[in-house]
């Protein structure tokens, strides 16, 4: 039995459809119920619906053998898991952004508002730039508009949130997409099963 952590939401639904096409169908996973665990003996899978930012924890701790998480979540959590496959969906980028016309004052620490403090710290650490991190949980774009921060480190997908708030990207940090991850110990004793899943999924990936 392969235990799979799926990120709740639109990305998770897309991922499930790829897994279903790859031969891992499970009845009612996409239904309207509030159920969190679905098992299908015939396909040999159990699915758990997990908050997207928690997927890496479930997999790192081994209660899920594999899971799907965005590169942003993986980079932020620093989870010790194997990254097996880029699923080429959920594409966006991690970027630094601010209000249009913003000019950096190099004489003082940069105030950075973000949901991703580890990513921001690593990025500016690599540039030897001193920063003051302001951890927020949503609507990050508000911070520089209201003067809470100088810049944000956040996800940009279509760019419309930035555009509609007179903001723009200053620097791109890294591209993001959904990744299939595996628990390291589970991979040792279920490696064959996991590799078979990777191989089947590879045939279902969207074109580049
Ligand atoms: C994310 C992100 C940006 C927005 C980017 O927020 O934090 O605000 O999406 O998408 P866009 O480039 O297509 O406009 P999310 O929708 O997750 O909500 P949040 O404000 O609660 O973080």
- What is the Cα–Cα distance from 15 to 2, expressed in whole angstroms? 15
Which is the closest atom of ligand 1 to the Cα of 92? 12
Q: Give 139 Cα–ligand 1 centroid separation in angstroms.
A: 7
pLDDT of residue 180: 98
Q: How many Cβ atoms sit within 10 Å of the Cβ of residue 145? A: 15
Nearest residue (by CA) to ligand 1, atom 17, is 138
Q: Which ligand 1 atom minimizes the distance to the CA of 156?
A: 12
Structural tokens at position 33:
């119920």
- Return d(Cα 143, Cα 41) in angstroms, integer: 49
Alpha carbon 121 to its chain's center: 18
Q: Whose CA is nearest to atom 19 of ligand 1?
A: 138
| E runs forming strands in 92-206 | 92-99, 110-114, 131-135, 151-156, 167-176, 178-182
Supply the mean pLDDT for the chain.
97
What is the Å distance from ligand 1's center to 83 Cα? 25
Chain segment 49-100, per-residue pLDDT in tens: 999 999 999 999 999 999 999 999 999 999 999 999 999 999 999 999 999 9
Q: Which residues approach ligand 1 with their CB closer than 6 A?
A: 138-141, 154-161
How many Å lie between the centroid of ligand 1 and the Cα of residue 154? Answer: 8
Burial class (CB in 10 A: 0-12, 13-18, 19+), 53: middle
Share of the chain above pLDDT 70, in %: 100
Q: Is 25 helix (H, G, I), strand (E, B) or coil?
A: coil
The number of the ligand 1 atom at minimal distance from the alpha carbon of 157 is 12
Ligand 1, closest atom to CA 160? 14
Q: Residue ranges of the chain with pLDDT lower than 70?
A: none
Q: What is the pTM of this model?
A: 0.94
């Amino acid at each position: 039995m392969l235990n799979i952590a799926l990120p709740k939401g639109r990305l998770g639904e897309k991922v499930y459809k790829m897994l279903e096409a790859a031969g891992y169908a499970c009845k009612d996973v996409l239904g309207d119920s509030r159920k969190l665990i679905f098992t299908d003996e015939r396909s040999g899978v159990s699915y758990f619906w997990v908050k997207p930012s928690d997927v890496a924890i479930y997999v790192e701790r081994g209660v899920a053998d594999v899971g799907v998480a965005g590169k942003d979540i993986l980079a932020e959590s620093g989870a010790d898991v194997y990254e097996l496959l880029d699923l080429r969906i959920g594409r966006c980028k991690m970027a630094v952004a601010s209000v249009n016309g913003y000019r950096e004052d190099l004489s003082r620490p940069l105030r950075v508002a973000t949901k991703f403090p580890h990513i921001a710290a690593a990025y500016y650490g690599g540039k030897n730039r001193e920063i003051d991190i302001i951890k927020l949980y949503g609507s990050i774009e508000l911070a520089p508009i209201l003067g809470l921060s100088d810049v944000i480190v956040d996800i940009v997908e279509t760019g419309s949130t930035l555009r509609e708030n007179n903001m723009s990207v200053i620097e791109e940090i890294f591209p993001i997409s959904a990744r299939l991850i595996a628990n390291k110990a589970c991979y040792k004793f279920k490696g064959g099963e996991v590799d078979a899943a990777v191989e089947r999924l590879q045939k279902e990936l969207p074109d580049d």
